[in-house]
Chains A and B, each alone.
Chain A
């Protein structure tokens, strides 16, 4: 089971010099040692309301598995999905 966050809450993500996530903060808890399981891009709706997102599926040392994305248009990090 996964929980999909349709409203995409804002999260804090620290990145390295290449823009890759290394640490994220969820609900007041900091999860370090982030590993990237997968990454992909979504570019859509360029003709009306453009969407440009860099997606990362992350796993942390404490076992959190989630999907976050970097909204390139707004310049914000968002949480999309948490896996059980």
Chain B
């Protein structure tokens, strides 16, 4: 028996400002800790397959509470949670959920498992809950139908004759039937590698070689699949100090291990310096490197030489990479100062590019 949990964030659905400020994908990423099957139905609506989680997490209210707690780490927004046998019932349960007190951040409602129990639980609910066109709703009212139970109790053939396919669909919903499966979102792929040091190496600089090796290893794995990372996250486990994490998002997919390692190391040294102040540098016990936001690098080749209107950040990134690869004093920018000059060498002048 499938059990689905629907989470509905009313603020995300109605308030554009909040919706733009909150990273909905990050909220869903959090739910990965609960279940591998998650669907983003719409902005502010998510479905989670919670089948079989009972033995490890407790009853359904506890499972919903766990999901809400996970998501609230990203965005502490009011949420309605509902559980049912299928996606329609789960979402309907979330709609029916009412907080126990006005200031409560979450509300929960569940339909019982099993067709008979569901029909019994839904029987008294008003027809207005069905996703029907106003005309259909009006016609249902003309037939004197006001509750889901009344519609569910009619012979299917009679409903089909009167209301067509749409009527049959609505009756199935009124009976708590919904054949649409949950379509799990594709989890973002990530590549992970790790190096441990026994004994710990001295300072951040001591781990540079291992970092380069990790970068090269991940880049080799991606190169074989013609992919490149859009983000690198480096985590340092320090000896006797809290771990240090650096995240580096690339404006475009990058597959240059030395360059990625160098950039990470630079950021890492800055962060380590800012954290320790005058204290001695702690030893590094392990490093972990994650590449994600994988995509095809081919389409971005030679980005320097394509039109870069409003993409100065990308151009600067490209220039910085070229500078790092070929050294200082190799990149020049031509500026047309006197386009009407008779001699070509006087039309433009060259200025060194400082990336």
Chain A residues within CB distance 8 Å of chain B = 4, 6, 8, 42, 44, 51, 53, 80-81
CA gap between A6 and B334 in the complex, in Å:
12
From residue B96, how far is it (CB to closest CB) to chain A in Å? 67
From residue B346, how far is it (CB to closest CB) to chain A in Å? 8
Contact with A along B239-266 (1 / 0, CB 8 A): 0000000000000000000000000000
Chain B residues within CB distance 8 Å of chain A = 342-345, 350
From residue A69, how far is it (CB to closest CB) to chain B in Å? 10
Contact of B345 with A6 in the complex, beta carbons under 8 Å: yes
**How many A-B contacts if CB must be within 8 Å?**
14
- Note all chain A residues with C-beta closer than 8 A to B344: 4, 80-81
- Note all chain A residues with C-beta closer than 8 A to B350: 6
With CB as the reference atom, state the residue of chain A lying closest to B334.
Answer: A4
Contact of B342 with A44 in the complex, beta carbons under 8 Å: yes
Contact of A42 with B343 in the complex, beta carbons under 8 Å: yes
From residue B146, how far is it (CB to closest CB) to chain A in Å? 76
Ordered by A's residue number, 14 sampled pairs between the chains whose C-beta atoms are within 8 Å are A4-B344, A4-B345, A6-B345, A6-B350, A8-B345, A42-B342, A42-B343, A44-B342, A44-B343, A51-B342, A51-B343, A53-B343, A80-B344, A81-B344
- Note all chain B residues with C-beta closer than 8 A to A6: 345, 350
From residue B304, how far is it (CB to closest CB) to chain A in Å? 13
From residue B151, how far is it (CB to closest CB) to chain A in Å? 72
CA gap between A4 and B344 in the complex, in Å:
8
CA gap between A4 and B350 in the complex, in Å:
12
With CB as the reference atom, state the residue of chain B lying closest to A2.
Answer: B344
CA gap between A51 and B344 in the complex, in Å:
13
From residue A41, how far is it (CB to closest CB) to chain B in Å? 10
From residue A21, how far is it (CB to closest CB) to chain B in Å? 19
